[in-house]
Amino acid sequence: MDNIYDFIKKVKNNEIDIVEHTYKLIEECKEINKEYNYLNAISEDLALNSAREIEIQLKQKAKIKNKKLLGVAISVKDSICVKDVESTAGSKILQGYKPLFDAFVIQRVKEEGGIIIGKTSQDEFGFGGFSVNVGIGFKVPKNPFDNERSCGGSSGGAAGLSQKLSNHIALGESTGGSIVEPASFCGVFGLCPTYGRVSRYGLIDFANSLDKIGSIGKTIEDVALLMNVISGYDKNDSTSLKLKNENYESYLKKPVKGMKIGIIKEAFGTGVEREIEKNVYNGIEELEEEGAKTEEISLELPIKYGIATYYMIATSEASTNLAKFCGMRYGATEKLEGSFNEYFTKVRSNNFGDEAKRRIILGTFARMAGYRDAFYLKAMKVRALMINEYKKAFKKFDALVSPTTSILPPKFSEIEKLTPLQHYMIDVMTVSPNVAGLPHLNVPVGFEKNLPVGMLLMADHLQEGKLIQLGSAVEKGK
Ligand code: GLN
């Protein structure tokens, strides 16, 4: 496999027939999809037209040589809108929806010469950690190392495809862990940026105060490169941060000597599989060998209260977001008959999956008059405490570390037996950095029983660069 920079250089120097290359890549996607279900839609026409456009421009010697992603295939999580390509967020209620506009990140990818190859499969609206909660009629993506196992979620298709397809980077989305957790299960890098660093314009919302778009790739270079393209201020997103752009790639080769890393005490031991711990400690050792200093730190709130806090906030916001899909202005419709209530109920009963319905009920309950203070507002207070606790830790440490997941990718037959609460527990390590809006990165650190293990690195707000620096040191050490 070419390194991504060599590949782009070859495209620029006309050493690759980009149209033929893209055609082959699309054929490869179709082949992979037969077994693994990573793509809900393959945007063949769009991809080939973009490749032809690049070919013409190269022939005309147009000024495209500075384009950061020239010829690179980009897959897009289904919840991110791509103009004229079906974008469903993995839900039957949005089937047939072809946006009239591009999300901010898609505009940026296109401007930089990236080639959009399709929409990746996910849990419906992002509701899940195993990509098994797909919408009615959608297919479940499978782990690239064992097709009887989950590839994690909710950006499951994105992570699986990143493992299987070379010269490709994926756009993922995380609300409570959906970038790093599938990245861990599929043995790839996944970077979830600081809340507000990447515009959410054109993202089909799950929970507005938590959603972040980020990058997933086979190498840390892939992830840094795509982050460079998609981060930055956007006037169309009121929560977008007005800051100077950073060059994340400049952190790739920076030495980590002297950096301080806090090992979160509560994230090891009880409940974590021994083999996972062993591999994560190997990753930590690699950082130590490169000169990083490590020390244990106790953080009480994240592991103990993360799940409860996250699910209060996430379901409350999700239930309001889903209210608009009632068969009037947005989403699927049914035959217009009966009272309004009967009609709305029919549309929502027939087109939402079970987990979406569960979250609507939970979230509506948590926001009800009389309960709002006890649940939603209480969760917001814990969120503030959690941010303070992290902030205190980051006064001393450049990054914090834990396993990304406490178990290896489970078999579908095991997942079937889990209760909803056990499903929610898969994100015990990842929800808290999401609740606090902190950037975090999955770094593949090894294999156990032929399945990948991931290490989770978290940094203070806007310190994505440090994560790339550390991730690159581990990658180099391998
Ligand atoms: N698994 C978590 C949930 O189900 C997080 C999902 C996400 O980040 N989109 O809410």
Pocket of ligand 1 (CB under 6 A): 126-129, 154, 174-178, 206, 314, 427
Distance 130 CA to ligand 1 centre (A): 9
- pLDDT value of position 65: 77
Nearest atom in ligand 1 to the alpha carbon of residue 155 is 9
- The residue ranges of the chain whose pLDDT is under 70 are 1-2, 478
- pLDDT value of position 64: 82
- Spatial distance between the Cα atoms of 21 and 45, rounded to a whole number of angstroms: 14
Distance 178 CA to ligand 1 centre (A): 6
- Spatial distance between the Cα atoms of 444 and 85, rounded to a whole number of angstroms: 32
In the three-class reduction of DSSP (H, G, I as helix; E, B as strand; rest coil), residue 192 is classed as strand
Count the alpha carbons within 13 Å of 411 in the hemisphere toward its beta carbon.
4
* Domain 4-251 classification at class level: alpha beta
Pocket test for ligand 1, best of 77, 79, 127, 212 (most atoms within 8 A of CB): 127
Distance 18 CA to ligand 1 centre (A): 36
- pLDDT value of position 270: 82
Closest CA to 164 of 369, 365, 25: 25
- Spatial distance between the Cα atoms of 113 and 74, rounded to a whole number of angstroms: 10
For the chain, which residues make up each domain, given as ranges?
Answer: 4-251
- pLDDT value of position 2: 67
Catalytic site residues? 77, 154, 178
- pLDDT value of position 316: 96
The per-residue pLDDT for range 73-110, each reduced to its tens digit, is 999 999 999 999 999 999 999 999 999 999 999 999 99
- pLDDT value of position 62: 76
- pLDDT value of position 413: 98
- pLDDT value of position 61: 80
Pocket test for ligand 1, best of 154, 315, 429 (most atoms within 8 A of CB): 154
Q: Are strands 440-448 and 451-458 parallel, antiparallel or unpaired?
A: antiparallel
Distance 431 CA to ligand 1 centre (A): 8
End-to-end CA distance of the chain: 17
Give the number of other Cβ atoms within 10 Å of residue 111's Cβ.
Answer: 12
The per-residue pLDDT for range 402-416, each reduced to its tens digit, is 999 999 999 999 999
